[in-house]
């Protein structure tokens, strides 16, 4: 599944190329993913627990021949329609994420003893953010549709890569810490002023899972309510714990003053472990 995912994720970068997009390369990536998925069908389904295999078979069929599956994605690429390619790609990656979740129902590594007291996410979850324009203007979906004052973004939070960071974020979502939070937009990031008491916060370790490693590394602690300006994703000073799968087209439209109207954990609460607070 990782090879299939990597082939499709490469298309995300190819779509960003301005002017003449490399549709031939995109087509090759999808055909590669489709061949692997077809050739490895038995092993993909065999890696899913028996009680979840029926759901896995449905997801697999959707990935191959579904309305927004790989075959449909090939057709969008042949039509050279970047908006449809983006939508189809997001749908296929969503399905792959669901299959991976069925294949790995828990963490494959043990957390260090000193971090057992923190909230942790033992798998993946999905957060839905409803963003409201603060100045009365509207969001304009790139894939078409009417402009609207609010827009939804779905984010997969990845406890396999960063169980403590994802777990802490999920707990804050459940505690409604981000509801009504104002956003600040910079050239590099969108930051949230969640209004939590800066004096009563706690610290979580910085989690980084290097490419090719099986578990994250833990380094210097960062205050969970501290501002994140000046830190760098590329230099390994930022915990990466999730990615947007729906609503990516409105991320660039978020401006300072926009508000998180609501934030909900719509999937994964059963994988959120909350140790007793003392």
- pLDDT tens by residue, 175-229: 999 999 998 886 656 666 655 555 556 678 888 877 777 788 887 444 444 444 4
Q: Percent of the chain beyond pLDDT 70?
A: 83
Residues 213 and 259 in one domain: yes
Q: Is the pLDDT of residue 263 over 90?
A: yes
pLDDT number for residue 50: 86
CA gap 274, 265 in Å, rounded: 15
Residues 33 and 142 in one domain: no
HSE-up of residue 110 (Cα within 13 Å, Cβ side): 3
Under a CB-based contact definition with an 8 Å cutoff, are residues 138 and 149 in contact? yes
User: What is the tally of structural domains in the chain?
Assistant: 2
Q: Evaluate whether residue 278 is within a structural domain.
A: no
Q: Evaluate whether residue 63 is within a structural domain.
A: yes
183 forms bridges with which residues in the sheet?
A: 192
Mean pLDDT, residues 244-265:
88
Residues 95 and 167 in one domain: no
Who wins on pLDDT, 166 or 208? 166
Residues 217 and 183 in one domain: yes
Q: Evaluate whether residue 34 is within a structural domain.
A: yes
Under a CB-based contact definition with an 8 Å cutoff, are residues 177 and 127 in contact? no
Residues 126 and 95 in one domain: no
Residue after which a domain boundary falls, among 81, 103, 125: 103
Residues 152 and 252 in one domain: yes
**Average per-residue pLDDT for the chain:** 83
pLDDT digits (tens, 9 = 90+) for 79-94: 998 888 988 898 898 8
Q: Evaluate whether residue 108 is within a structural domain.
A: no
pLDDT digits (tens, 9 = 90+) for 125-151: 999 999 999 888 988 876 667 888 899
Residue after which a domain boundary falls, among 71, 103, 135: 103
Mean pLDDT, residues 35-54:
89
pLDDT number for residue 264: 95
- How would you label 134-168 residue by residue, b for 16+ Cβ within 10 Å and e otherwise? eeeeebebeeeeeeeeebbbbbbbbbbbbbbbbbb
pTM for this model (two decimals): 0.63
Domain containing 261 — which CATH number? 2.40.100
β-sheet with 150-158: strand ranges across: 190-193, 182-185, 259-267, 124-132, 150-158, 242-246
| CA 42 remoteness from chain centre | 27
Residue after which a domain boundary falls, among 61, 82, 103: 103
Distances (CA, A) of 116 to 7, 36, 205, 208, 265: 35, 38, 12, 17, 22
- 190 membership: H or E segment, kind and range: strand 190-193
Provide the residue range defining the domain that includes 134. Answer: 113-273
Phi and psi of 137, rounded to 5°? -80, -170
Residues 149 and 259 in one domain: yes
pLDDT number for residue 128: 95
Mean pLDDT, residues 103-108:
69
């Amino acid at each position: 599944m990782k090879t299939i995912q990597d082939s499709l994720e490469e298309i995300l970068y190819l779509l960003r190329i301005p002017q003449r997009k490399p549709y031939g390369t995109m087509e090759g990536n999808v055909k590669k993913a489709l061949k692997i998925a077809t050739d490895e069908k038995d092993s993909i389904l065999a890696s899913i627990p028996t009680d979840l295999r029926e759901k896995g078979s449905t997801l697999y069929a959707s990935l191959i021949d579904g309305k927004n599956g790989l075959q449909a994605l090939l057709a969008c690429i042949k039509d050279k329609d970047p908006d449809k390619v983006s939508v189809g790609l997001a749908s296929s990656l969503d399905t792959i994420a669901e299959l991976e979740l069925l294949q790995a129902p828990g963490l494959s590594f043990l957390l260090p003893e000193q971090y057992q007291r923190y909230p942790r996410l033992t798998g993946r979850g999905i957060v839905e953010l409803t963003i409201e324009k603060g100045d009365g203007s509207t969001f304009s979906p790139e894939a078409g549709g009417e402009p609207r004052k609010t827009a939804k973004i779905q984010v997969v939070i990845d406890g396999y890569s960063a169980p403590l960071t994802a777990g802490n974020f999920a707990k804050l979502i459940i505690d409604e810490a981000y509801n009504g939070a104002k956003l600040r937009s910079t050239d590099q990031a969108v930051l949230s002023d969640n209004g939590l008491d800066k004096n009563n916060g706690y610290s979580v370790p910085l989690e980084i899972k290097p490419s090719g490693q099986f578990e994250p590394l833990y380094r210097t602690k960062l205050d969970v309510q501290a501002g994140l300006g000046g830190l760098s994703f590329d230099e390994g000073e930022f915990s990466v714990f999730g990615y947007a799968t729906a609503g990516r087209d409105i991320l660039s439209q978020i401006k300072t003053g926009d508000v998180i109207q609501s934030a909900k954990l719509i999937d994964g609460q059963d994988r959120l472990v909350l140790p007793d607070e003392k």
